Structure 1
């Protein structure tokens, strides 16, 4: 789920207005209740004190985090927010309630403290409830705008069409969609059951990008892919194209790797999310690790393995001993793995 901060000010403004309206109604009823008890003056003083108490409570969470700094600052902030701030906020209301005249009992002061949070709680709660509809509506508006784009022939030239045979996986189609100068690809979709869904935002779906060039590594057992691409020409105009991929002519060839001390040469570019390398730790057993490891930065515009794959040395581990390609076989409803070992 996207963060609430992604909701623009144009949406937050009415939510804040809703929060203030709810607060006004609740506080008016609260004032009448205290007036019937003869404690309206005490209620007024404690209610007016809510704002400086909120400021003091915020400082209790903010200042220690600033003093600590570094990666531990966030942990300190949340610890203070969850465990210290409630004690400070409600405790100050109860303490002040005992000093005003007429004095407030603990439950009365706690009630005033709770309703003092409504200006914050109501907009945030409303935003959480409305957030899914907001993002769905925004996506629908964006989709409608894209679909109004003029239809043009596919801008890319398909080159390097090849068919490969991989152990366990079977036949795979490989294509390179070469982008002409000035073309910028914005979105690529594939059709499934009559509906289009985005295909270029995943690292292991059989399609990857190297800038505006696109590489396909598609299981022949899967349905023939039908594509829709949204792109901009040199003038910046948004355009769209549709086409269906077809397998290359001629026989399929074996997918052969050429190993070296520093890396391996691949016969075709592959989405990096489909590939894992096997290393052996000192005194341990072989382990396959994906190339999208912890801390890796995923770039949807550059998510293809290079043909000349190189890897740095990993202290305490051997050089990669095997490369494994994973691909979903839709006809078998199972993942299949092709493993290529260093000679």
Structure 2
């Protein structure tokens, strides 16, 4: 027997999957958006399973606080501040040299997504914010691509498999189910919550890619590991015929510039302004209290804004969700800081 010839033998012996499922997996191309906690766990599982082509896109670099849960990264990666997409590819190639791995250090927006989806069979959600997820959702609906949503914070996790033309899309679900708004930086996270979410995401991926769509879970799954709670929720009723992302007269609103998060570098101020794509209303008192509990910096507030100074940056947020990130002219860095604290 040649070295590595039995690499996938244990999952091929799983009767519902078999050698046919493995062959289809090897012919598949999966796009993973985000290489943080979810993205690295997804990528490692699918690489080990033998997905033939993985494409990974992420805008951030490895930090020490990532090592607690982002399983592809090392202390050396954090010391070098290596881009996550680069570090992930290097480690994945050591895990499985027989598959194709493409990585892109990029802030994924509409144009980037359009350039990444050629030949893709499935999109996996490894992101940390709903702006990007809603872009993914519209792209998936536009090109009839399945995608698997996942999120986690604290000990809580949520996941749902979205099949265009069959299931509600993420836009349908907004307002219908509790999708949450905290982040790992504001509420913390335990790694087991990550692993639980990605276990469900990747088993759904393997069912779908191997052609066993009859085995897909058709419900939205939520759980809280600390409270020993879990729930499967039927959400078929949430599918809306008038949904602009997946309905009868779809316009893919989140691919439109009017619904995109807007960023501007303010002239001469070493500041980036971020405006959410959709109008929102923040409770400034609760926002100040939440940031104060972090103990990471100075929090000041008045009836009109909350100021949060941490390290060399100062984040000022207004009731409409608009924020000024002082201390940087780098739009990508500013967006990372904003989403770190506001999801």
TM-score range, shorter chain: under 0.3
TM-score, length-normalised on structure 2?
0.19
* Higher strand residue share: 1
TM-score for the superposition, normalised by structure 1: 0.19
